[in-house]
Amino acid sequence: MGLHTIIDSRIDLIRFLTPDGELCENTPLPVSDEALLHFYRAMTRTRAFDGKAIALQRTGQLGTFASALGQEAVGVGVACAMEARDVLVPSYRDHAAQFLRGMSMAECLLYWGGDERGSDFTNSRDDFPNCVPVATQVAHAVGAAYAFSLRKEERVAVTFIGDGGTSNGAFYEALNMAGVWNAPVVMVINNNGWAISTPRALESAAATLAQKGVAAGVACQQVDGNDVVAVFEAARRAIAKARAGDGPTLIEALTYRLGDHTTADDATRYRDPEVVQREWTREPIARLRAYLLCKGLWSKEQEAELLKQCGAEVAEAVATYTSTPVASSDAMFDYLYEEPPQLLKDQREIARRFAPAK
């Protein structure tokens, strides 16, 4: 038997806007001016929240926080492509998408403040709470998507994972079953270049992370993750494909983490400041702003008004968060089991003894 070509694949990069905010040649934008303004406002809103959340953590008013600084286009682009009936299965850096899905800023602050009520969304109640264990959220998303198929529901599960998470066994297992079940799921790799302090080059020898979908029989795509239009369009296509019964897609969004991994990290200890400075010239908000200004769709006055509105919204959320009465220590144990095992009952009693007096 002679040799045969088994795999002949190609990963194309989707991009509409250059880092300078110019339209790529021969690639007309697939969205309206109104949509562009919506993307811009949503990314700016997320960044305003990020800055305040870090300030709260630095002053002891918030627990550890994972910033989305520089990666706003990934969450905004994907969430804008979803329909209300779809389900978001987030990790811990996906508040840009969660805000668009209906999670309030006050709920986000409660979550990072260690309050269980921060995962009990008033809106988007079918969306999953934040998942901190690395890569397990992908398995949750694939399972939910499989359930949609069994119920013959035209819904799609969407999940995010970091570049480092794709080296985790849970990711490969979930990816494999997504292909086997032809599950209506879209998995988005937020490739921000770092798995805490481990650079992308030491995480995987694969030329792209998107190509990990090939072995699982999952369609794969790479996008410029700092181009919100490209992210939206890739997610829109993938979600439409999944909803039509044509299976899962793995999207790798190339972006850069401009901040620390979390507020417990200090990226200045392991990153080249010249690289970080260079990446600031490619970040998503400035890129879209440049395009909008050039086309006469935005002005300095509109920018000032937007920042004012975002600041007021964030301030209101902070006031709600700081005035919320502290929950009982029992909340840590209330939602794990219908009948807690004795070990947890013992821990609950210990927590009650050390809880602050009311």
Tokens 């809106």 identify what position?
A: 123
How far is CA 337 from each of CA 130, 328, 331, 340, 345, rounded to the nearest angstrom? 19, 17, 12, 5, 11
Pull the structure tokens for residue 25.
């040649």
Q: How many CA atoms lie within 13 A of 317 on its CB side?
A: 26
How far is CA 16 from each of CA 25, 186, 251, rounded to the nearest angstrom? 8, 21, 16
Nearest-5° Cα angle at 285, 283 to 289: 120
95 flagged as catalytic: no
Cβ atoms of residues 39 and 80 within 8 Å: yes
Find the catalytic residue in 85, 270, 278, 337. Answer: 270
SS3 298: coil
Q: Counting Cβ atoms within 10 Å, is residue 1 exposed (0-12), middle (13-18) or buried (19+)?
A: exposed
Backbone dihedral angles phi then psi of residue 353, each to the nearest 5 degrees: -65, -35
Conformational region of residue 193, where left means phi above 0, alpha means psi within -120 to 50, and beta covers everything else: left
Find the catalytic residue in 257, 287, 291, 321. Answer: 257
Report which secondary-structure segment, H or E, holds 253: strand 249-254
CA dist 212 and 200 (Å) reads 15
CA dist 119 and 333 (Å) reads 14
257 flagged as catalytic: yes
- Cα 267 to chain centroid distance, Å, stands at 20
Find the catalytic residue in 95, 237, 243, 261. Answer: 261
287 flagged as catalytic: no
Q: Residue 44 is which amino acid?
A: T
Strands of the 219-224 sheet, one edge to the other: 13-14, 219-224, 249-254, 185-191, 157-162, 87-89
Task: List the catalytic residues.
Answer: 257, 261, 270
